[in-house]
Structure 1
Amino acid sequence: MGRGVDQLLRLASWRAFDVDESGRVLAGSDESGSVQLVELDPDGPSTPLTALPGACSGRYLPGERTVVVQHDAGGDERAQLSLLSLDPLPDRPAGLDDLEPLVRDPRYVHRLLDVLPGRVVFATNRRNGVDFDVVIRNLFSGEEETVYDHGGFVREVAVAPDSRYVLVSVPGEPALSMQLRLVDTMPETEDDHVVSLTGAQEHARHDHLFWLPGDRGFVVTTDRERDLLGVARYERAGGRWSWLVTSDEHELTGWLSPDGQLLLVETNDDGVGRLALHDAETGAKLHDLAVPAGGWVSWPLAEPAWSADSQLVALTFSSPTVPGDVLLVHAEGGEVRRLTNSPAQLGDEPLVEPTAYRVPTPDGEHIPCAVYAPAEADTPVGGSAVLVLHGGPEGQSVRTFNPIVQALAARGHTVVVPNIRGSVGYGKHWYSADDGRRRLAAVADLAALHDWLPTLGVDPSRVALWGGSYGGYLVLSGLAFQPERWAAGVDIVGISSLVTFLENTAPYRRAHREREYGSLERDRDFLLSASPITHVDAIRAPLFVIHGANDPRVPLSEAEQVVAAVQDKGIECELLVYQDEGHGLAKRVNRLDAYPRALDFLARHLAH
């Protein structure tokens, strides 16, 4: 039966949040059960920095031995900001009372965007609970300057070196698109204060914003006027765009060094990341980086972090067999040093590596997916399969460690991890293919995957769905719209009604999510028809539901209403609610409780 899920869930992982000029890395470790801050010294011991009630993240203040800590309460995502001095290093990890409050008001979100010498840049919805303003707080005087208050869900911000210009990305009208706005903090006229550099109707992503030296322009990862993401440069003089690095086969993401000389580029090869350093002026490749093969280094792990002197890059690396490690790159020669070592196997049993497939659909598309073959075929669940569906929908299942996938394969299930339409990583045409009233085309991809499974030797009568967030919506949709295909489902923080989800999600998220799913005002009829709860009478497969009581994205009521409806039909349906969790299970103690029970549930319903 292989290694137990308990052992897999107890494997500690690392991630890199920041790096200073001496090579010290501000890292996150979940060894304690939730992600806490640890400082890694390449030439000395590591120092645990925090012991907060929940997960946290942070950044170094430039030129100081101080960390800005971002934390929330019970997964409610209302981020608060505090300071932790590292001079001297603490002799014990800091609790909440040991931190110096910086920006705290638990009624609102205060999301850390950037750190500057003596200043912190954050986004907050404290003005009206919905729109996000961009604020720069002076750490010496305590004064705050609101540099952007023109509404919307602020995604990213880049402050120019002289702080006169601020680049802001906010949602455009097409789903997933982002509009770029340039803020002049010293405008000649009020009309010059905020200028839109891209149109609200432009169907394009604009991510990872970095100013060029001298405020002459910026570097951005974008798919404007093309299908695949590339790295482009914008010159303020003349408003001229030009491409630095592109590929006709893969999406690319770039991170500019603080001095504007180097560009770190990740190539997304079907969820496997390849890294190279490029000349930031010409885009020419300088050298590939020898990071471990077969894994991933950026979102959803943690973004690469440059040191202020542009000499070092701290990376997070994970693969299907590596839970998560911190790598330190020396930019000049491309040397890669591994600062932590998470295990590649448990005892004598290696973890499973996936095989890539493209699954055809009736309308001529092909679904990218990774298949994890069972570690041992001769088990009570041999011949069964579980589809593990990512959230988003604008997410991508990349080649990172997933203890659930490994536990399912260890028990004998074939595990299929697809990137159905709506997923990023495969071009604009693919992530847009489920927008609005095309939602059920993504559900139809589940049927195509089911029809293909017998080519892997899977018994089509013993296939289950597992998914979180939007993946939970897909689980419920599969059971409701295709009841004859699925033997069981595990729904984690999933949407059961697109209508009640949009009505009850956090106010600051509603308009942002309506771009993707449709408008309550204009599309209510379709939203009702595409909601699993509307078709709950068709569900006949047993269901296992997990939810956090503090979830601000998908409210607990989404789980409660579908569970009540399924139980009223006399179908087995169990609901686990965790009072100290939000959108997913961030604490190991809760994962150790929920996931073994969910796996046992699947084992009962998928056995021979």
Structure 2
Amino acid sequence: MNAIHKKVYALTLTMAMSIALIQPAVQAAEASKPTAAVAEAITSKATQTLQQLGYIDGITDGMKESQTPITRAQAAIILQRVLKLDAPASLTGFADVLAQDEAAPAIYALKQSGLIQGQAKGYAPDAPLTRAQLASLFTRAFELKDNGIQVVYSDMKQIPAVHAEDAVRLKQHFIIEGSAFNAKATVTHGEFAEALYLALGLDVAAEGLTPLEDFFKQPAQAGFQMSPDGKHMAYLEPWNNRMNVVVKESGGSGKPIRITNETERSIAAFVWATDDKLLYVKDEAGDENYHIFVTDMDGKNSKDLTPYPNTRAMMVDPLESIPDEILVGMNKRDPRIFDVYRINIKTGEAVLAAENPGNISGWLTDHEGKIRVAVSTDGNVSSLMYRDSEDKPFEPLLTTELGDTFTPLMFTYDNKNIYAASNLDRDKIAIVEFSPSTKKVTKTIYENKDVDVSSFVPSKEKGTILAAVYETDKVNYEFFDDEFKTLMQDLQAKVPGKEVSISNMNEEGQVLFAAYSDKSMGTYYFYDSKTGKLDKLADAAPWIDESKMSDMKPVTYTSRDGLTLHGYLTLPNGAEASGLPLVVVPHGGPWARDSWGFSPEIQFLASRGYAVLQVNFRGSTGYGKEFLNAGNKEWGKAMQDDLTDGVNWLVKEGTVDPERVAIYGGSYGGYAALAGLAFTPDVYAAGISYVGPSNLFTLLDSLPPYWESERNMFYERMGDPVKDKELLTAASPLFHIDQMKAPLFVVQGANDPRVKQAESDQIVEALRERGVDVPYMLKANEGHGFANVENQLDLYRAIEKFLNRHLMQ
């Protein structure tokens, strides 16, 4: 008995489209530099903080005179204190630095540590420190690594080669801004203090803060799944900085066995294939060409079942009743469409099971593993195709227009009718039972007047549906089975204050589930419903202190044209809801929605003192077809207004300081960030676009080939490049950069198949041509969002500094 339905983990085209653009400052160059008053304030704060920490004394280091040049000797004295370096026994090596000199212990301590390299003829301790020398000194002292931010200096050719890379590192870590480096310019005491303040991260440091790394650390253990016979469990666990699959006995004392050894890319997903074999999925460097692998539960006999170049594989059916076979969709014949192959997981043999004529976007099997339903589409018009058996041709049963939904989910257990998600003749999606023989809906299993029904919980053992699942502010269940209702109530009672998500159940009454909240990443449990015994398996993030996390509160407000908008507001824990800096975080998709629960990103922002607003703006899913369709051709217009209205609502309430509002999002959310800065430049003080499209023409022109069947849908929901040229031009931030005046940070994965690198390249290049200095983080081994933890940490460290500089200073 599965928690949702047997294909819950399948990657279908429909699911892919639902996250199509989802899984984060611009002004003239002279305006991007801090004003004299701001610069002085930063320097003053830096000096005061460094003095409090005992790093400067104003005597031997000359720090009382902030505007005078700092000497190389004074810089050495300060760095020795900061780095706590012991002086060597012998204070010799430089002809112009004698042992009795006041700075000698510091200078030779730095030399011993490899931080300075001067030649024997002299160190020039009394010479003023130059910007180039500062860059090299700090890069070595604080181990500043390449974080992927592209750096362009207008005077790059004037930087000595020995210092050039270090000058780049300095700017990558937001220590200096502006287009010119001025390598030979001397550094004042105040400038040195500011650089040191930033290098030490003191600008974003505060007592009692949860470390940034704790939010984005890989889970200790996650994704528990029970083997079909219930004797073993598999889960993901970090190894060499990547999530790998581990197997252990259920309730046994045997040693867990790691069965995968991935070091380049984490395992994206896995599932039990049989009692002793597992399937797992991964791609290369974020290209989303997923391959399906099989391995024994001891890690032996691993095999790539889809070893084809430039091919994306997706599970169609694990064929539970046929242990050694699976049905897999692959686009190896034609990159635009997916054929179905029957693959033997022991031999790897793949046999064509269904050839795609060119317009099939999804397939459905019955409970015997026979392919009996297909969905054809041209992007706007979809048809449900059906056949009684695999030796017969598909025939259309019904046709739907854009906005109408009829998604086949599962056959009834007698293989006669079909359970489907449908909003035909209604606004909200309901779960219905459909008869292929009569071509009619025979029963409405469940509908909700306020929101779409998202899924259901089937039972193979009972041959029926146990509950329907729908999401309002949180996930809810409508129960049809008293035994299952009692089970859920029992589980809820055992983890008070937490929500429950079931992973597996079986006939023996064994239940694998996770308990989670907005303040907890989750805890995994194994429950024996017959004995009532509850075993805790693991905390996903035991290092997270829930008492320091913030409440994610559901909110509603009314848009300027009268729509009720739902979302979530997260305020800093313990902060007064008055005059707070705000980060608006629009979700990706845009045909998706935000949900309640633990978000490392949201909690991180709240922990740094920001209020965080997430809005399910028009065009979001889950609230009915009318609300979804209200977003058609409203990119940069009404969809953007919904975000602006949220900001204005919070400002009017007094919760938010209107001068300290930023917008940050990924994919469509990245587009919304660019659009916010371009179309409402007075609303935002800063913006961050993470894999966000900047030009809707080039976005549509570069859709992945396997989305070709959905092109017309994009044209209807976004705009046709020919028919709606003016609309798309008006909605593309790239063509309106002259209106941008707030600082912008751009983030991109080089292998992104959805929002190509060109989307970020072109807006960064356009702004730089205007003389605007744009931090641009580009990761060569990432795709549509960063998956590797080291890249995630680089990203959020940069975000922390960027937002702090533009919203907190």
Structural mapping, 1:249-268, within 5 Å: 249-252=450-453, 253-259=455-461, 261-265=463-467, 267-268=469-470
Counterpart for residue 343 of structure 2: 137
Inter-CA distance 461–198: structure 2 relative to 1 (3 Å threshold)? farther
For 1:215, what is the secondary structure of its paired residue? Answer: coil
Q: Map 1:202-351 to 2 at 5 A.
A: 203-207=403-407, 209-241=409-441, 242-252=443-453, 253-259=455-461, 261-265=463-467, 267-275=469-477, 277-279=479-481, 288-289=488-489, 290-291=491-492, 314-315=512-513, 318-327=516-525, 339-343=537-541, 346-347=544-545, 349-351=547-549
Aligned to 2:176: none
Which residue does the alignment assign to 1:71? Answer: 282
Please state whether the residue corresponding to 2:767 is helix, strand or coil: helix
Aligned in 2, Cα 1:314/1:580: closer, same or farther, shift over 3 Å? farther
The SS at the match of 1:197 is strand
Which position in structure 2 is the counterpart of 1:473?
Answer: 671
Aligned to 2:561: 363
Name the residue aligned to 1:554: 755
Offset of residue 319 of structure 1: 3.0
Per mean C-alpha deviation after superposition, the further-off stretch among 251-260 and 422-431 is: 251-260
1:121 aligns with 2:327: yes
Deviation at 1:232, TM superposition (A): 1.5
8 Å CA contact 2:635, 2:731 repeated in 1: no
Please give the TM-score of this superposition, normalised by the length of structure 2.
Answer: 0.66
- The one-letter code of the counterpart of 1:212 is T
Counterparts of residues 91-106 of structure 1 (less than 5 Å):
99-106=302-309
| SS of corresponding position for 1:490 | strand
* Structure 1 position 524 matched with structure 2 position 722: no
Secondary structure of the residue that 1:322 maps to in structure 2? coil
| Structure 2 gap ranges (5+) | 1-205
Q: Which has the higher helix share?
A: 2
Bigger mean CA offset, 368-377 vs 322-331: 322-331
Distance 1:308 1:32, change over 3 A: farther
Conserved? CA contact 2:456–2:469, under 8 Å? no
Confirm or deny: 8 A CA contact 1:541 1:571 kept in the other structure. Answer: no
SS of the residue corresponding to residue 37 of structure 1 reads strand
The answer to whether 1:575 aligns with 2:746 is no
- Is residue 113–residue 121 contact of structure 1 (8 Å, CA) maintained in 2? yes
Taking the aligned partners of 2:686 and 2:402, their CA distance within structure 1 comes to 41
Which residue identity is paired with 2:316?
L
Match status 1:58 vs 2:58: no
The Cα shift of 1:378 comes to 8.6
- In the alignment, the residues of structure 1 paired with residue 529 and residue 420 of structure 2 have an alpha-carbon distance, to the nearest angstrom, of 20
Per-residue CA deviation, residues 545-568 of structure 1 (Å, 9 max, x unaligned), is 111111111101101111112233
1:160 aligns with 2:366: yes
Aligned to 1:606: 807
Cα offset for 1:536?
Answer: 1.5
Q: Which one-letter code corresponds to 2:413 in the other structure?
A: P
Task: Answer yes or no: is the 8 Å Cα contact 1:352–1:372 preserved in 2.
Answer: yes
Alpha-carbon shift at residue 592 of structure 1 (Å): 0.8
Partner of 1:6: 213
Q: CA distance change for structure 1 residues 297 and 600 in 2, over 3 Å: closer, same or farther?
A: farther
Kindly state the Cα deviation for residue 452 of structure 1 after the two structures are TM-superposed.
0.9
TM norm structure 1: 0.87
Indicate yes or no: 2:400 matched with 1:196. Answer: no
1:395 aligns with 592
Alignment pair present for 1:593 and 2:774: no
Percent of aligned positions with the same letter in both sequences?
24
How far off is 1:245 after superposition? Answer: 2.0
> Any idea what the Cα deviations from partners look like across 1:447-494, whole Å, max 9, x if unmatched?
211211211421111100010011111111111111111110111111
Q: Confirm or deny that 1:108 pairs with 2:303.
A: no
> For residue 301 of structure 1, what is the aligned residue in structure 2?
none
1:412 matched to 2:609? The reply is yes
Distance 1:511 1:17, change over 3 A: farther
Unaligned runs of 5+ in 1: 299-303
Inter-CA distance 316–183: structure 2 relative to 1 (3 Å threshold): farther
8 A contact 1:488–1:602 mirrored in 2:
yes
Whether 1:535 and 2:747 are equivalent positions in the alignment is no
Distance in 1 between the 2:622 and 2:498 partners? 15
- Give the counterpart letter for 1:61 in structure 2: A
Is 1:182 the equivalent of 2:390?
no
State which structure, 1 or 2, has the greater radius of gyration over its C-alpha atoms: 2
Check the 8 A contact 2:519/2:546 in 1, yes or no.
Answer: no
Task: Give deviations 1:523-542, integer Å, cap 9, x for gaps.
Answer: 33322221111111111111
Sort the Cα spacing of 1:140 and 1:239 in 2 relative to 1 into closer, same or farther, 3 A. Answer: farther
Does the CA-based 8 Å contact 1:325-1:341 persist in structure 2? yes
1:373-426 alpha-carbon deviations (Å, 9 max, x no partner): 1125499x9721001111111111111322221111111111111111111122
**CA deviation digits over 1:124-161, x for unaligned, max 9?**
11121111222222446624133241324634x43212
Contact 2:404 2:424 in 1 (8 A): yes
Residue of 502, 509, 529 corresponding to 2:707: 509
CA RMSD in angstroms comes to 3.2
2:280–2:294 Cα contact (<8 Å) kept: yes
Inter-partner Cα distance in structure 1 for 2:532 and 2:480:
11
What residue identity is the alignment partner of 1:387? Answer: V
For residue 691 of structure 2, what is the aligned residue in structure 1? Answer: 493
User: 2:197: which partner in 1?
Assistant: none
Counterpart of 1:518, as a letter, is G
Displacement of 1:500 after TM fit? 0.4
Q: Distance in 1 between matches of 2:470 and 2:604?
A: 26
Q: Which of 549, 573, 584 is residue 785 of structure 2 equivalent to? A: 584
Structure 2: distance between partners of 1:294 and 1:549: 42
538, 541, 564: which one aligns with 2:765: 564
Change (3 A) 1:374 1:162: closer
Segment of structure 1 superposing worse, 204-213 or 552-561: 204-213
